[in-house]
Amino acid sequence: MSYEVMVGNKATAVGCKLARVKVAAVFPITPQTTITEYLSEIHASGDLPNFEFINAEGELSSQVIAQAAEATGARSFTCTSGPGLLYMHHPMQETASKRLPLVMAVVHRGVKSMQPDHSDLMSQQWQGWLHLYVENAQEILDTTIMAYKIAEDKRIRLPVAMGYDGYVLSYTAEPVEIPAQEDVDKFLPPYKPMPGIFPVSDKDDKWRDFEANPKTFGAGWGEGDPMKPWQMHNEAALNGETVIKEVFAEWGKKFGRTYGNGMIEQYRVEGADCVITAMGTIAGTAMAAIDKLWADGKKVGLVKIRSFLPFPRSDFQAIAKNVKAIGVFDRSCQPGMWGPVYHQMRSTLYDEAKKTPVIGFIGGLSGKEVRVADMYKIGEKTLKVAQGGKPEAPIQWV
Amino acid sequence: MDEMVLVPGSTCQGCGAAMAARLTFKVLGPNLIRHGIPCCPDHVSKHPRAGSVFEAGGSSLTGTSRALKALGRTDIKAVAFYGDGGTYDIGFQALSAAAERNENILVITKDNEAYMNTGGQRSGGTPKYAETTTNPVGPKSRGKGEPKKNIPMIFAAHYVPYIATASVAFPEDLMQKVKYAKDIEGFRMILIQAPCPVGWRFDPAKTIELARAGVQAGVWPLYEIEHGTSFKLNYKPKELKPVSEYLKPQSRFRHMTEAEVNEVQGNVTTNWARLLKADEMKTVVL
């Protein structure tokens, strides 16, 4: 174990090294660029044996190179931001449909500006990946390693995207504890490829036996129920709720650092009248606002959402039982449909016997600064609803 | 040599691409991962097939090749069997990048000169005057208006170890080239002309005859380029046969006037002189 002051993007590269990534394919884009440079340095140094580093000619190719390397049996990595992620849209679907446990860092950059918001990763909800959102450099390093363990779990076998805010986190230096390689090796065993992708028939849920049927990756049509792969994919993504919690609990036990239960992290929720939610770096800002709210006698808790996909359904159903309102903060907006987190929250709580009001706040788009005072106000507005007041509007712009 | 082609296959009668697959994979043997992207025909051999998105055939080959290296399995080859769309057009960027990085991959392109998988639409590999389903002949159209992209020379200009053209009508030449390319380290590409009876509209019994006529007329010359410069013409008849012998049996050219045939003849003759010169000088002449 050692310490180093490093920026978020370096934490990603160090995480890859500790995870003994064998193939990394990258294409630079601000604010992800320095990950590619750190990885190239790791390659040039020879510190990571048998590490193949590829300068792809674009993000579509970096996704496909990493995908094919993963399919061939090597633990692989790629990373991108904003427009680069949109450019990967097509092959991302293929990576997930082939059930390949690739890990990708998404350094958030908005689609209407170069500044960060979550519109890039939020726009990829249909591509069949798990989506984690992290807050600081230490969490990046730890989550990079854990993401492989989650992705490679037999119950999942899906790619994982780890999102973190560009600039404010990618380029901010923080002290980071680097776990010892031997401890990481014990936590994360070598990657065992499991090439079965599709059920052999509609009666058989088992992975295709590659020995018996060593045919193909990617040509999924022609046998069995054509909806079965969708069903299995959906189930695998939902299994994330269990597996993420298990992996984070194990990490906590081995390395002494926890991030809530992996799906969510609660801050001063105990005894609170209402909670607000936040994701990524804004969670840190929100914590400062929560302290102020409590100091002023306003009992508002914070729930940091770490996994957006799968959504922490059981956690929020439990939390909703004990609070009188939930204020959801969205750092993205699907024009005409508002914030995606708001919708997930409402559908999560719709069937609950106790109706907990959910109000939405949209902020931080295109890098607009979200201050402690903004989160304080969100807390106050949510508290007003918890006390029986009517919100000014169901969804408000911050 | 093992027969690696799928029998029964999914191809039409007289499919030039199926013949190309049979000859190629017989030489390459079983120890490879075959990449496929949308093309016609795709399911051609018994190898594990790792397909990915249409636009990134060069990238998926790269991923396989690099992973094999990282895993210490360099005994297994990464081989592509792509079409002209995946090579000349939508797949060009990724293949060009893989060539520029000199990835250790072998690309077999069977060139049937149109998008045959979707029913024969124009591609960058379609020759001038050919009628396709998106180049119908009419008062405002004489078929395709532009010449075929010179893709072997374009890839040669990436200074890669080996580029070759081949024809199903010259199986010994084709197989020799595959054998030679098999064990070279770096980027190798073999472009095989693959007559398509359905798309080109000719008698399926005449595939080999037609392919032979194309080579003998100089329309599809057989050559090799090493490291982007060293040039060798593999088939040099004393005299070229007229292009009309190649064009005539194909209904995709049936609308051509005598003047248009003469224009094609002129271009082929000029190009042939250039190739002979290149062969004599042992270097690429453009």
Please give the residue of chain A at the shortest CA–CA distance from B49: A216
Mean pLDDT of A382-391: 97
- The partner residues of A53 in beta bridges, in order of sequence, read A24
Question: From B59, which residue of chain A is nearest by alpha-carbon distance?
Answer: A65
- Residues of chain A in contact with residue B96, where contact means CB-CB under 8 angstroms, are 57
**Given an 8 Å threshold on Cβ–Cβ distance, is B66 in contact with A55?**
no
The shortest CB-CB distance from A216 to any of B49, B64, B69 is to B49
pLDDT for the residue numbered A226 = 72
Taking the CB of residue A107, how many other CB atoms lie within 10 A of it? 33
Measured between CA atoms, the residue of chain B closest to residue A210 is B48
A65 to chain B, any CB pair closer than 8 A? The answer is: yes
Residue A44, Cβ neighbours under 10 Å: how many? Answer: 9
Write down the CATH superfamily of domain A2-193+239-252: Thiamin diphosphate (ThDP)-binding fold, Pyr/PP domains (3.40.50.970)
Q: Select the residue from A64, A89, A209 to test the B interface by mutation, using most B Cβ atoms within 10 A.
A: A64
Q: Are B238 and B244 in contact (CB under 8 A)?
A: no
* CA proximity to A210, closest of B194, B153, B48: B48
pLDDT above 50 (res A214): no
| Percent with pLDDT over 70 in chain A | 92
Q: What is the pLDDT of residue A223?
A: 58
Give chain A's mean pLDDT: 93
Q: Does B55 touch chain A (CB under 8 A)?
A: yes
Question: Mapping DSSP to helix (H, G, I), strand (E, B) and coil, where does residue A266 land?
Answer: strand
Q: Could you tell me which residues are beta bridge partners of residue B167?
A: B193
Q: Which two tokens stand for residue B274?
A: 């250039």
Q: What is the pLDDT of residues A106-161, one digit of tens each?
A: 999 999 999 999 999 999 999 999 999 999 999 999 999 999 999 999 889 999 99
Across residues A248-260, what is the average pLDDT? 98
Query: Could you tell me if B68 lies within 8 Å of chain A, comparing CB atoms?
Result: yes
| Cα B27 to Cα A246: distance, rounded to the nearest angstrom | 50
In chain A, residues with a C-beta closer than 8 Å to the C-beta of B94 are 57, 60-61, 64
Quick check: A217 and B51 CB within 8 A?
A: yes
Residue from B52, B93, B103, B117 whose CB has the most chain A CBs within 10 Å, to mutate: B52
Among the partner residues A55, A91, A217, nearest to B56 by beta-carbon distance: A91
- Chain B contact set for A72 (CB, 8 A): 33, 50, 63-64, 67-68, 71
A202 falls in which pLDDT band (50, 70, 90)?
very low
Q: Where are the domains of chain A?
A: 2-193+239-252, 264-397
- Residues ≥6 apart with Cβ < 8 Å to B100: A57, B158
CA A38 from centroid of its chain's CA atoms? 21
Q: Is the pLDDT of residue A215 over 50?
A: no
End-to-end CA distance of chain A: 42
B52 touches chain A (CB under 8 A): yes
In 3-state terms chain B splits into helix, strand, coil percentages (rounded to 5) of: 40, 15, 45
Q: How far from chain centre, in Å, is Cα B88?
A: 10
The distance of A27 to chain B (nearest Cα, Å) reads 12
CA B102 to chain centre: 20
Handedness of CA A51, A52, A56, A59 (dihedral sign): negative
Instruction: Assess A213–B contact: CB distance below 8 Å, yes or no.
Output: no
CA distance linking residue B209 with residue A370, whole number of Å:
73
Contacts of A61 (CB under 8 A, 6+ apart): A25, A27, B56, B58, B59, B62, B93, B94, B97
Cα B249-B254-B258 angle, rounded to 5 deg: 105
Q: Which one of B60, B95, B101 makes the best mutation probe of the A interface by having the most chain A beta carbons within 10 Å?
A: B60
**For B29, left (φ over 0), alpha (ψ -120 to 50), or beta?**
left
In this prediction, residue A292 carries a pLDDT of 98
Query: Is there a shared CATH topology between the A2-193+239-252 domain and the A264-397 domain?
Result: yes
d(CA B223, CA B177): 10
Any B CB within 8 A of A94 CB? yes
CA–CA separation, A329 vs A349, rounded Å? 16
Which residues from B are below 8 Å from A69, CB to CB?
Answer: 63-64, 66-67, 70
DSSP strands (E only) in A129-281: 130-133, 160-165, 173-178, 216-217, 264-267, 274-278
Nearest to A386, CA basis, from A325, A303, A321, A322: A325
Which of these, A325, A289, A329, A322, lies nearest to A305 by C-alpha position?
A329
pLDDT at A224: 61
Choose among B268, B167, B277, B179: nearest CA to B222: B167
- Residues A337, A210: Cα–Cα separation, whole Å: 43
How many residues would you count in chain B? 286
Q: Nearest C-alpha of chain B: how many angstroms from A276? A: 41
* Termini Cα distance of chain B: 38
Q: Write down all domains in chain B, each with its CATH number in brackets.
A: 16-281 (3.40.50.970)
Mean local confidence (pLDDT), A306-323 = 98
Distance from CA of A26 to the nearest CA of B (A): 12
Nearest by CB: B63 against A25, A50, A58: A25
The whole-number average pLDDT for the span A21-48 is 98
Token pair 């002129």: residue: B266
Write out pLDDT tens, residues B114-150. 999 999 999 999 999 999 999 999 999 999 999 999 9
**Alpha-carbon gap: B32 to the closest alpha carbon of chain A (Å):** 12
B92-100 and B57-70 helices cross at what angle (nearest 10)?
A: 40
ipTM (interface predicted TM) = 0.96
Task: Give me A247's structure tokens.
Answer: 């992996």
Residues of A in contact with B68 (CB under 8 A): 72
Query: Which residues of chain A make contact with B66, given a CB cutoff of 8 A?
Result: 23, 25, 52, 54, 65, 69, 74
Kindly identify which residue of chain A lies nearest to residue B93, measuring between CA atoms. Answer: A57
User: What pLDDT does residue A342 have?
Assistant: 98
Say how many CB pairs under 8 Å bridge A and B: 125
The reply to whether residue B55 touches residue A71, judged by beta carbons under 8 angstroms, is no
- List all residues of chain B from 96 to 135 with a beta carbon under 8 Å from chain A: 96-97, 100-101
Pairing of strands B77-83, B106-111: parallel
A58 to chain B, any CB pair closer than 8 A? The answer is yes
Q: What are residue B283's DSSP bridge partners?
A: B230
B62 to A54: CB separation less than 8 angstroms, yes or no = yes
Can you list the residues of chain B whose pLDDT is less than 50? none
Q: How many C-beta neighbours within 10 Å does residue A353 have? A: 5
CATH architecture of A264-397: 3-Layer(aba) Sandwich (3.40)
**How many Å apart are CA A27 and CA B16, to the nearest integer?**
38
3-state SS assignment for residue A206 = coil
Q: Fill in the DSSP letter of residue A180.
A: -
Please name the residue that has the structure tokens 């590269």: A13
Rounded to 5 degrees, what are φ and ψ at B21? -65, -45
CB-CB neighbours of A225 under 10 Å: 12
Q: Is A215 on the interface with B (CB under 8 A)?
A: yes
**Which residues in chain A touch residue B59, judged by CB atoms under 8 angstroms apart?**
25, 56, 60-62, 64-65, 68
Q: Are B129 and B253 in contact (CB under 8 A)?
A: yes
Q: Are A374 and A398 in contact (CB under 8 A)?
A: yes
The partner residue sitting opposite A215, judged by closest CB among B48, B55, B64, is B48
DSSP class of residue A159? -
Residue in A51, A94, A219 nearest the CB of B53: A94
Cβ–Cβ contact B225 with A under 8 A:
no
pLDDT at A207: 44
What residue type is assigned to position A163 of the chain? Answer: G
> What are the C-alpha distances in Å from B257 to residues A188, B132, B134, B176, B197?
70, 17, 20, 39, 22
pLDDT, greater one: A208 or A54: A54
User: How is residue B149 written in tokens?
Assistant: 């992209």
Q: How confident is the model at residue A211 (pLDDT cuts 50, 70, 90)?
A: very low
Residue A209's pLDDT band, with cuts at 50, 70 and 90, is very low
- Relative to beta strand A52-55, strand B188-193 is unpaired
Residue A216 pLDDT grade (very low, low, confident, very high; cuts 50, 70, 90): low
Q: How far apart are CA B163 and CA B108, in angstroms?
A: 10
Does residue A60 belong to the interface with chain B, where contact is any CB pair within 8 Å?
yes
Q: Which of B36, B43, B70 sits opposite A51 (nearest CB)?
A: B70
pLDDT in tens, A61-91: 999 999 999 988 999 999 999 999 999 999 9
Interatomic CA distance for residues A253 and A248, integer angstroms: 9
Across the strands, what pairs with A360? Answer: A328, A395
Q: Do A22 and B51 touch (CB under 8 A)?
A: no
Q: Is the pLDDT of residue A201 over 50?
A: no
Residues 6+ away with beta carbon under 8 Å from A189? none
pLDDT of residue B151: 98
Interface test with B, best of A20, A65, A99, A100 (most B CBs within 10 A): A65
Q: Which DSSP state fits A394?
A: S
Angle at A378 between CA A372 and CA A384, to 5 degrees: 135
Which of A50, A68, A91 lies at the smallest CB-CB distance from B70? A50
How do B77-83 and A264-267 pair as beta strands?
unpaired
Contacts with A95 from chain B: Cβ below 8 Å: none
| DSSP structure class, residue B199 | I
CB A215 within 8 A of CB B47: no
Q: B86 vs chain A: nearest CA distance in angstroms?
A: 14
For chain A, count helices (H), then strands (E).
13, 16
